[in-house]
Amino acid sequence: MTLTNEQLIQIRRHLHQIPELALHETQTHEYLLSVIKGFNQQFLEIRETPELPTALFVLVKGSNPQRTIGYRTDIDALPVEEKTGLPFKSQHPGVMHACGHDIHMTVALGVLNYFAENQPKDNLLFFFQPAEESDYGGKRAYEAGLFSGKWCPDEFYGLHDNPDLPAGAIGCRMGTLFAGTTEVNIDLNGKGGHAAYPQDANDTVVAAAALIMQVQTVISRSIDPIHSGVITLGKIRGGSIRNVIAGHTRIEGTIRGLTQKMIKKIDGRLQDICEGVGRSFNMDVKLGLNQGGYWPVENNPQLTKFFIDYMQKTPDVNFIETAPAMTGEDFGFLLAKFPGTMFWLGVDDDSQLHSATLTPDEAAIKRGVDAITGFMNARMAK
């Protein structure tokens, strides 16, 4: 039987109570598996894998497959202490689905359940992905070779909930939806000494100050103002006491850009500045850049045009064209490997994502399921 709205809400509330951090989603994995095994199994093949133990792959076998359409949902939570006061609040202290992945999973289960009852024309691949918030679950799956053979999608889709959009609304845009991110770590190594004898030391705090000021010119003078990029150096630590010159200072921050090309350009300019500061202050300046799996979420032009056209023409869908967001999402790595589209599902909440008070409107779940199943049917008819 197709899941009712009430059943979907109950699934979501159960998932909300058992949030787990990246690569530790064992209880979530077992619950998802139990729900999926309750579906009609005639067209389903379930795959678990030792390379990524908390992940789940489900293949829905098509009646006359010409391609495999992938759908991804993330399953991990955040280290946030919940403050919603909900009767079904998190039962795991200090962990919460503060990014709405419980909504994501429930929508995916609703779509999977629909096609378990209504055999699709093409093959459908559902990927329940661990470690989106950290540890690069999408990249891990790809690099482990888990998308191969019949488990390889020809195109990939996924959603993220959005508290700024009305419940059930679908938001999307051509081009980049989410920025890519790079973690920045800079270590300046000079020579410590007494504050009264600066000539005998090499002050890394002064060099760090010069470096930070130079970095502010990267976006304003090296990036096309029509496009967007961000460098934030959010943490600096140097020295231990007021009358000692620091021999080591560490700076940590983040780079964000709307295309992989832009991120590489910003990375290169930051490398130039670090090398220049090292020469200017006669000290060792080491730059560490870690993009991990958080590439820009760049929507495929042809597939996204079809997606937007369908949503705009469907009377029951409230479609909203959205601006790009500077937040990161690891689905961008998979979209760099497979053509596809990411989109927003509105959940209408005053609290923002990653907030301890995030309370999505559950009316979004069934509307999301209906919009996505309708789109997939239209896509398979193409």
Which is nearest to 103 in space by CA: 371, 370, 373, 363?
A: 363
Q: Are 102 and 17 contacting, i.e. CB atoms less than 8 angstroms apart?
A: no
3-class secondary structure per residue, 54-74: CCEEEEECCCCCCCEEEEEEE
Question: Where would I find the beta strands (DSSP E) of 130-197?
Answer: 155-162, 170-172, 176-178, 180-189, 193-194
Element (H, E) at 263: helix 260-281
Catalytic residue among 25, 74, 155, 349: 74
Active site residue 74: yes
Q: Is 380 buried (19+), middle (13-18) or exposed (0-12) by CB count in 10 A?
A: buried
Report the C-alpha gap between 25 and 158 in whole angstroms: 19
Which is nearest to 125 in space by CA: 99, 103, 146?
A: 146
Active site residue 362: no
Q: What is the DSSP letter of 307?
A: H
Given its phi and psi angles, is residue 354 left (phi above 0), alpha (psi -120 to 50 degrees) or beta?
A: left
Angle at which helices 101-117 and 363-380 cross, to 10°:
50
Which is nearest to 251 in space by CA: 222, 283, 287, 202?
A: 287
- Reported as half-sphere exposure (CB side, CA atoms, 13 A), residue 41 has a value of 8
DSSP string, 20-31: --TT--HHHHHH
Catalytic residue among 122, 133, 155, 330: 133
Report the C-alpha gap between 358 and 354 in whole angstroms: 7
Report the C-alpha gap between 231 and 215 in whole angstroms: 8
Instruction: Name residues whose C-beta falls within 8 Å of residue 211's C-beta, 6 or more positions apart in sequence.
Output: 186, 188, 251, 273, 274, 277, 285
Report the C-alpha gap between 191 and 201 in whole angstroms: 5
- Residues known to be catalytic: 74, 133
